[in-house]
Structure 1
Amino acid sequence: METELPATCVAANNGTSQMPTLGSPAEGDEARLMHAEAAQAAPPLGRLRARARHENFPVALSVLPPRYRRHLLTLYAFARMVDDIGDAAPGDRLSLLDSVSARLDRVYAGDVGGHPLYRRLASTVAACDLPKSELERLVEANRRDQLVHRYRTFDDLLGYCALSANPVGRLVLRVFGADSEWRRLRSDRICSALQVLEHCQDVVEDAYAGRVYLPTVDLERYGVAEDDLVAARADTGVRAVVALQVQRAVRLLDEGCPLVKDLNGAARLAVAGYVAGGRATARALADAGFDVLARTPRPRRTHVAVSLLASLRRGGAR
């Protein structure tokens, strides 16, 4: 089942803000402690697998052949580690990210020592012929997060997604030996859509970190002040802005879904899972009335499964 996204939002009573203002350190200490180990090393693989189960899309479907699952989980672990450094590591995050780049240099120079994650990454790089540039773009996205905290237009946001999300899809294509220019472009649409949907879910969390990924022009268009993003409930303007981003994300998924039909075997199954997760997340946001402040809308597993079967049957199309 697919959810039609309304062009306008249902009006809601304005909630009284009972939360700190943007950039407040409230609850931040716990997050910093939880992710502090990412400053020097990656979390244990078991913890990453547990976190992977709670992502919007299936990181590595259990039915995939073990060699593919191993490579996908390694890429997820690397991306997760870099994000944890950029989001929550104490100290000089730019310096820590530079250290990750230096470790990548060593991996590509043939140095497979150090933390187990980098040893696994070296194995995946060699087995799948992964370009260093795509891994480095993930690091660069987190450097940008330290310096850029607002995006004026949706196109500006997509420019950020080209660093933070699209490289993952391109690396996945390499894992399956399915890389081509046409496929990369469709993969970019899917990955950007998933990133936009995640930003919609994480409005409050991002606001506390002093970041706003909802385009500024859209906030201005619907009369939303940044302080409104930490209110107890989303008013009509906030819902309208979120709904607009979800509609754009669904459009990106539609543009990228021909990739599913173009792939075969395990690659098709994996990418169909990503598309299904995106569609189920969009549905969860719509079912919540686009109120992302009262709680974080999460896709139901049954909706992901239904959308996955539909994606495989229709080749990703709605």
Structure 2
Amino acid sequence: MPTVGPTAERDEARAMHAEAARVSPTVRRWRARARHENFPVALRVLPRRYRRHLGTLYAFARTVDDIGDAAQGDRLALLDRVSAELDAVYAGGTGSGPLFQRLAVTVADCGLPHSELERLVEANRRDQKVDRYRTFDDLLGYCSLSAEPVGRLVLRVFDADTPRRCELSDRICAALQVLEHCQDVTEDAYAGRVYLPTSDLERYGVAEDDLVAATAGTGLRAAVALQVQRAVTLLDEGAPLVRELRGAARVAVAGYLAGGRATARALADDGFDVLARRPRPRRSHVALAALDSLRRGPGAGDAR
């Protein structure tokens, strides 16, 4: 293998600066926003091509979420426009606007399935029609649209998707979504949505007015603790995915898993009071959890 000398390093630096110059202000905003997520979206240690593709997927997912959560006007019509953009990309177009232009490149380079991107749009359509979930299984049904496709797309970026890996990824991604719902109880309640299963709220005597109180009562804390416990179980079930991967894919997924574990720890450290402030994972806890996952070593799966 040839060594990388100063000339090659300068060429790489020039390429990175050239790309940065072409990045739109919108994409820069998404990169800044990604730094505040519970998990590392695109670790700097990953090769640049992977960081670019992961960043594009993140920007797409968050753009669709923002339309579904906060767009003015007819949100369903706006989501239909996103679907039309996806159709154009998969028909061989370059996309309109910086985000879809970058997405077209990622779709072509990685062979992303159209159906997984469309499921993210469908999750936000559901948000316009459904604002309560009766049971935890009902909530997981929503996560199958809002979260699980992201993990499958990430595996595809690394050309590491197999049926078993996708199933393990689904558990990790569902856990990440559940934990985010626990963090955002008040924000969601003010938006007219309740993602904590209503059967659990009833079980612990929590009224919906309690979701916007100054601090969480014992019933709400118990309801949140139950969801966190369930999320940790999902993380444990999905954890073997890290051992089945190699290289950059393994590092990236270890980061996502670690973000989930650190978020669960943050919620527990705050006594599951999600109203006084939004519990946030410490970066040091994310790093330690990632190292722990990586130290466990590759398994005997069909990793490549």
Match of 1:238 among 201, 220, 224: 220
1:194 and 2:171 equivalent?
Answer: no
Q: Could you list the per-position Cα deviations for residues 219-243 of structure 1 after superposition, in whole angstroms to 9, with x for gaps in the alignment?
A: 0100000110000000000000000
1:86 and 2:68 equivalent?
Answer: yes
Partner of 2:112: 130
Unaligned runs of 5+ in 1: 1-41
1:269 and 2:251 equivalent?
Answer: yes
1:149 and 2:108 equivalent?
Answer: no
Q: Could you list the per-position Cα deviations for residues 43-81 of structure 1 after superposition, in whole angstroms to 9, with x for gaps in the alignment?
A: 711111110010000000000000000000000000010
TM-score (norm 1): 0.85
Would the alpha carbon gap of residues 138 and 316 (structure 1) be closer, same or farther in structure 2, given more than 3 Å must change?
A: farther
Q: Could you list the per-position Cα deviations for residues 102-144 of structure 1 after superposition, in whole angstroms to 9, with x for gaps in the alignment?
A: 0000000011041011111000001100000000000000000
Bigger share in helix: 2
Aligned pair count reads 276
Match of 1:291 among 256, 268, 273: 273
**Cα pair 1:43 1:81 within 8 Å, conserved:** no
Q: Which amino acid aligns with 2:140?
A: L
Q: Could you list the per-position Cα deviations for residues 172-213 of structure 1 after superposition, in whole angstroms to 9, with x for gaps in the alignment?
A: 000000010000000000000000000000000000000000
Q: Secondary structure of the equivalent of 2:128?
A: helix
Match of 1:260 among 232, 242, 262: 242
* Whole-Å separation in 1 of the counterparts to 2:96 and 2:257: 35
Partner of 1:21: none
Partner of 2:229: 247
Per-residue deviation, 1:291: 0.0
Q: Which amino acid aligns with 1:177?
A: D
Partner of 2:38: 56
- Most deviating of 106-115 and 242-251: 106-115
Q: Could you list the per-position Cα deviations for residues 280-304 of structure 1 after superposition, in whole angstroms to 9, with x for gaps in the alignment?
A: 0000000000000000000001111
Q: Which amino acid aligns with 1:300?
A: R
* Whole-Å separation in 2 of the counterparts to 1:224 and 1:126: 48
1:71 and 2:22 equivalent?
Answer: no
* Whole-Å separation in 2 of the counterparts to 1:61 and 1:244: 31
Kindly, what percent of the aligned residue pairs are identical? Answer: 79
**Cα pair 2:95 2:104 within 8 Å, conserved:** no
**Cα pair 1:310 1:316 within 8 Å, conserved:** no
Runs of 4+ in 1 over 6 A off after TM superposition: none
1:224 and 2:206 equivalent?
Answer: yes
1:309 and 2:287 equivalent?
Answer: no
Partner of 1:178: 160
Q: Could you list the per-position Cα deviations for residues 76-110 of structure 1 after superposition, in whole angstroms to 9, with x for gaps in the alignment?
A: 00001000000000000000000000000000001
* Whole-Å separation in 2 of the counterparts to 1:240 and 1:316: 36
Match of 1:158 among 140, 151, 156: 140
Partner of 1:36: none
* Whole-Å separation in 2 of the counterparts to 1:214 and 1:298: 18
Q: What value does the CA root-mean-square deviation take over the aligned residues?
A: 1.2
**Cα pair 2:50 2:157 within 8 Å, conserved:** yes
* Whole-Å separation in 2 of the counterparts to 1:223 and 1:237: 6
* Whole-Å separation in 2 of the counterparts to 1:308 and 1:102: 38
* Whole-Å separation in 2 of the counterparts to 1:230 and 1:242: 14
* Whole-Å separation in 2 of the counterparts to 1:184 and 1:315: 20
Unaligned runs of 5+ in 2: 1-23, 300-304
**Cα pair 2:165 2:241 within 8 Å, conserved:** yes
Q: Which amino acid aligns with 1:136?
A: E
